[in-house]
């Protein structure tokens, strides 16, 4: 790793390039800046409390291929109760005190004792610990992989791929079974593009942002999550386990005399923190309602199966089949009302959560939720924007299911009318009953067995909340950590 210059950097006249670079850094660090503002507010509210907090920002200086060359950690020891001394645990070397008159000494146990004098303590140092998330950057020119040195100055169709690796895996127990899950991290990557050297740009798992003067490529990924969805606990959720959760960002375009600017990454687990929302209760309520729906669908399937058996025994007449289908159609209203109740309860829950978060909503219905939440999402930033977007996606999926259930009940009504018309054809009646049974089986499969899923989600969130430091932390101290990468250009 290269050395780190601790001397003050002389102030230079800002130019357009520096301002453009600031745009990239702002785009990547938006989530981090929001979180830091929230942390400062929390610290103010915590005045008078005895619980201290350690917040770390880990700066990773890497080469153009993603290999770390230097790791610098900036630590903030929050001292809300005004303690004269603070005991801290750290693995950092070359510690530099950033707090005026805050002396420190090493204890016999290898810990650090800070002379805080009732104030917060700020310091930094160097680290060589393994990073929880790393990145590998590969460069291809016309389909051929090249090193950063080889591709520099060349022209052609270029692909740059940022592949993220999550190394933080924990063993957890879900319904008595041991499982391996990753500590969830979100990775936001951004860089400034030189339109004179890189054109016709496309981004996979991200987007291109332009203000007319500058073009920035920004991507987001969740490394390790796709692997976790293959966990047996999620086996019944076919759509979820087949979901493509991004673990990379890829940029393609046409290069002329190729060069690549500095890129920045924010690695954070704060997006998965549930400290501001009662996630456990919310998960239990949502999955509890889905469990009731599953039981109802099972009862319908059992009823249709019995109807098919009756049709086989009553080949000489169709009156019993028509009556049975009439009884089944009589459940249509119950199904529709049940689906509407689930939708309304979910909307009410989200409305309550928004109200608790200080965002009053006059009315949230199945007809206006997309417009209402869309406006709120447009005005939101950072963590709140991500959570609201996730809630909107869940509502859309639930609405699609309810609409599908309504279509299914309409199909049952049509089957009843058909049975009345086909009383003379026993073979057709039996065939129709078999088809109906198949339809209810498909409906049954679309509402999977959810045992284990709520616990798996809670465990994953808990792992995200539990990763609270990188270089060490004193027992009983709250912790928060984020990683900011700077990758050299070409």
Q: Closest by alpha carbon to 249, among 164, 162, 159, 191?
A: 162
**Does 423 have pLDDT greater than 70?**
no
The arithmetic mean of pLDDT across residues 331-343, rounded, is 75
Question: Lowest-pLDDT range, 116-125, 200-209, 389-398?
Answer: 389-398
Which ranges of 109-173 does DSSP label H, i.e. alpha helix? Answer: 148-151
Bin 351: left if φ > 0, else alpha if -120 < ψ < 50, else beta: alpha
3-state DSSP assignment of residue 198: strand
Separation CA 33–CA 467 (nearest Å):
19
Residues pairing with 482 in the sheet: 57, 268
Q: What percent of the chain has pLDDT over 70?
A: 62
Compute the mean pLDDT over every residue in the chain, rounded to the nearest whole number: 74
Mean pLDDT confidence for 328-351: 76
CA angle 76, 79, 81 (to 5 degrees): 170
Rounded-to-integer distance, Cα 446 and Cα 405, Å: 11
- pLDDT, tens digit, 9 for 90 and up, residues 240-282: 545 578 899 999 999 999 989 899 999 988 766 544 445 445 4
The rounded distance, in Å, linking the Cα atoms of 400 and 339 is: 11
The more confidently predicted of residues 481 and 172 is: 481
Residue pair 325/439 in contact by the 8 Å Cβ criterion: no
- ∠ CA(192), CA(196), CA(197), 5° rounding? 75
How far, in Å, CA of 412 to CA of 397, rounded?
23
Reported residue count of the chain is 490
What confidence tier does 57 reach under pLDDT thresholds 50, 70, 90?
A: very high
Residue 243 contacts residue 319 (beta carbons within 8 Å): no
- Minimum mean pLDDT among 139-148, 197-206, 376-385: which range? 376-385
The string of DSSP codes covering 395-429 is HHHHHHHHHHHHHHHHHHHHHHHHHHHTTT-HHHH
Q: Quote the percentage of the chain above a pLDDT of 90.
A: 23
What integer pLDDT is reported at residue 148 of this predicted model? 94
Asked whether the predicted pLDDT for residue 456 surpasses 80, the reply is no
- CB of 74 closer than 8 Å to CB of 57: yes
Would you say the C-alpha torsion 461, 36, 96, 4 has a positive or negative sign? positive
Say if residues 238 and 254 touch (Cβ distance below 8 Å). no
Q: Is 55 left (phi over 0), alpha (psi -120 to 50) or beta?
A: beta
**What ranges make up the beta strands (E) of 143-278?**
144-146, 156-166, 169-174, 177-182, 186-193, 198-204, 206-210, 215-221, 248-255, 263-268
Return the pLDDT at 466: 74
pLDDT digits (tens, 9 = 90+) for 85-122: 999 999 999 999 987 777 888 888 889 999 888 889 99
pLDDT of 162 > 80? The answer is yes
Predicted pLDDT at 311: 55
Residue appearing with tokens 């393994």 = 130
Residue of 161, 184, 187 lying closest to 250 (CA atoms): 161
Answer whether 73's CB lies under 8 Å from 58's CB. Answer: yes
User: Is the pLDDT reported for residue 7 higher than 70?
Assistant: no
pLDDT at 52 over 50: yes
Record the tokens describing residue 189, joined without a space.
Answer: 């990557």
418: nearest Cα among 489, 272, 314, 318: 318
Band the pLDDT of 335: cuts 50, 70, 90.
confident
The pLDDT, as a whole number, for residue 116 is 87
pLDDT tens figures, 288-327: 444 454 555 555 555 556 555 655 655 555 565 566 666 6
Cβ neighbors of 473 (< 8 A, separation 6 or more) are 54, 88, 89, 479
Write down the pTM of the prediction: 0.57
User: Is the model's pLDDT at 41 over the cut of 50?
Assistant: no
Task: Pull the structure tokens for residue 128.
Answer: 């060589």
Report the pLDDT averaged over residues 5-33.
41
Least confident of 84-93, 356-365, 453-462: 453-462
């Amino acid at each position: 790793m290269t050395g780190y210059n601790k001397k003050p950097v002389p102030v230079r006249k800002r130019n357009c390039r520096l301002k453009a670079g600031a745009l990239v850094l702002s785009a990547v660090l938006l989530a981090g800046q929001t979180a830091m503002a929230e942390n400062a507010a929390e610290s103010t509210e915590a005045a008078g409390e005895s619980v201290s907090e350690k917040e770390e920002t880990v700066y990773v200086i890497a080469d153009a291929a993603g290999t770390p060359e230097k790791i610098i950690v900036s630590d903030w020891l929050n001292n809300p109760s005004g303690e004269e001394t603070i005991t801290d645990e750290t693995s950092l070397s070359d510690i530099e005190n950033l707090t005026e008159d805050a002396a420190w000494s090493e204890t016999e146990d290898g810990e650090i004792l800070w002379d805080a004098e009732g104030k917060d303590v700020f310091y930094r140092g160097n680290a060589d610990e393994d990073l929880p998330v790393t990145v590998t950057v590969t460069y291809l020119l016309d389909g051929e992989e090249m090193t950063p040195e080889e591709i520099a100055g060349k022209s052609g169709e270029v692909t740059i791929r940022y592949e993220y690796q999550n190394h933080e895996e924990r063993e957890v127990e879900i319904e008595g079974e041991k499982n391996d899950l990753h500590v969830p991290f979100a990775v936001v990557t951004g860089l400034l593009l030189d339109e004179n050297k890189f054109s016709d740009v496309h981004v996979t798992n991200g987007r291109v942002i332009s203000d007319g003067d500058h073009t920035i490529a920004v991507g987001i990924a969740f490394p390790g999550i796709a692997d976790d969805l293959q966990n047996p606990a999620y086996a019944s959720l076919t759509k979820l386990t087949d979901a493509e959760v991004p673990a990379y960002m890829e940029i393609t375009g046409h290069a002329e005399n190729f060069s690549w600017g500095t890129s920045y990454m924010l690695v954070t687990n704060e997006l998965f923190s549930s400290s501001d929302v009662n996630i456990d209760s919310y998960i239990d309520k949502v999955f509890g309602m889905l469990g009731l729906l599953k039981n109802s669908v099972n009862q319908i399937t059992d009823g249709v199966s019995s109807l098919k058996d009756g049709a086989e025994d009553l080949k000489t007449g169709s009156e019993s089949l028509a009556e049975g289908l009439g009884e089944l159609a009589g459940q249509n209203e119950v199904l529709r009302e049940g689906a509407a109740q689930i939708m309304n309860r979910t909307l009410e829950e989200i409305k309550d959560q928004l109200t608790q978060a200080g965002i009053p909503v006059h009315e949230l219905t199945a007809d206006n939720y997309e417009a209402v939440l869309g406006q709120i999402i447009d005005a939101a930033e950072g963590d709140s924007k991500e959570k609201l977007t996730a809630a909107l996606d869940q509502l859309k999926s639930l609405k699609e299911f309810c609409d599908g259930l309504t279509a299914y009940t309409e199909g049952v009504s049509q089957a009843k009318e058909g049975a009345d018309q086909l009383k003379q054809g026993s073979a057709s009646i039996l065939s129709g009953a078999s088809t109906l049974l198949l339809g209810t089986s498909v409906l049954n499969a679309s509402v999977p067995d959810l045992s284990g899923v709520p616990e798996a989600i809670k465990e994953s969130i808990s792992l995200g909340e539990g990763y609270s430091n990188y270089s060490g932390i004193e027992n009983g101290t709250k912790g928060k950590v984020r990683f900011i990468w700077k990758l050299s250009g070409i």
